[in-house]
Chains A and B, each alone.
Chain A
Amino acid sequence: NAGVTQTPKFQVLKTGQSMTLQCAQDMNHEYMSWYRQDPGMGLRLIHYSVGAGITDQGEVPNGYNVSRSTTEDFPLRLLSAAPSQTSVYFCASSSPTAINEQFFGPGTRLTVL
């Protein structure tokens, strides 16, 4: 099993550009989520999903969109990148029987100029 995979590993964007961060998991987990991690700020929840077709907002959803068409994939879209979105983004997944035991991907380091 590859676990949780994220692409790309690194990305540099200009202000106003859009992009999609990819996340996939092969553990058949129903629950998936996106976090951002900034220095001194810990992990902040952006969006989460409890199954295909079901998504909800987390703590800091503004500027980000998600959709979940399959159990395996949970992409995160930045519609118009801003310097404040410079961060490390982590995708995580978990099983409904172990909700808080989330498996995290390796992260995407995003810089917005």
Chain B
Amino acid sequence: QKEVEQDPGPLSVPEGAIVSLNCTYSNSAFQYFMWYRQYSRKGPELLMYTYSSGNKEDGRFTAQVDKSSKYISLFIRDSQPSDSATYLCAMTFRWGFGNVLHCGSGTQVIVLP
């Protein structure tokens, strides 16, 4: 079993729909949780990060962490074709540079106009 599980998709939704992405993990010691967006043939781009359990909102994006269930989610409201990308979840045991990123394999999202 992988340490971080993420459905690879693809996940196709019509423009304007809510995109729901999630990851499950096995190690309860993870404390910091990140979501990256990666366009085709580009480098990843950090979208959001959260510490421990709870919600965080940034514009159309909401990240949720449920440590009791070892489950994290990313919601994209009012999805746009420009949101079509691969979304990676990642987590670390502590904050700081040089930490190992424990990543999911990424979910490909396609927003249809």
Chain A residues with a Cβ under 8 A of chain B: 4, 31, 33, 35, 39-45, 48, 50, 56, 58-59, 90, 92, 94, 96, 99-102, 104-107
Count of interface residues, chain B, beta-carbon cutoff 8 Å:
26
Partner of A42, one of B43, B96, B103: B103
Are A42 and B4 neighbours in the complex by a CB distance under 8 Å? yes
Chain B residues with a Cβ under 8 A of chain A: 4, 8, 32, 34, 41-46, 49, 88, 90, 92, 95-106
| New contact pairs (6) apart from A40-B8, A100-B49, CB-CB < 8 Å | A33-B98, A39-B105, A43-B90, A58-B98, A59-B100, A100-B95
15 contacts between A and B (CB under 8 A): A33-B97, A33-B98, A39-B105, A42-B4, A42-B88, A43-B101, A45-B101, A48-B98, A99-B97, A100-B49, A101-B46, A106-B42, A107-B41, A107-B42, A107-B43
In angstroms, how far is the closest chain A Cβ from the Cβ of B109? 16
Known contacts A33-B98, A48-B98, A100-B32; A43 and B103 CB within 8 A of each other: yes
Are B98 and A102 neighbours in the complex by a CB distance under 8 Å? no
- The CA of A92 and the CA of B98, in the complex, are separated in Å by 11
> For A90, what are the chain B residues with a Cβ–Cβ distance below 8 Å?
43-44
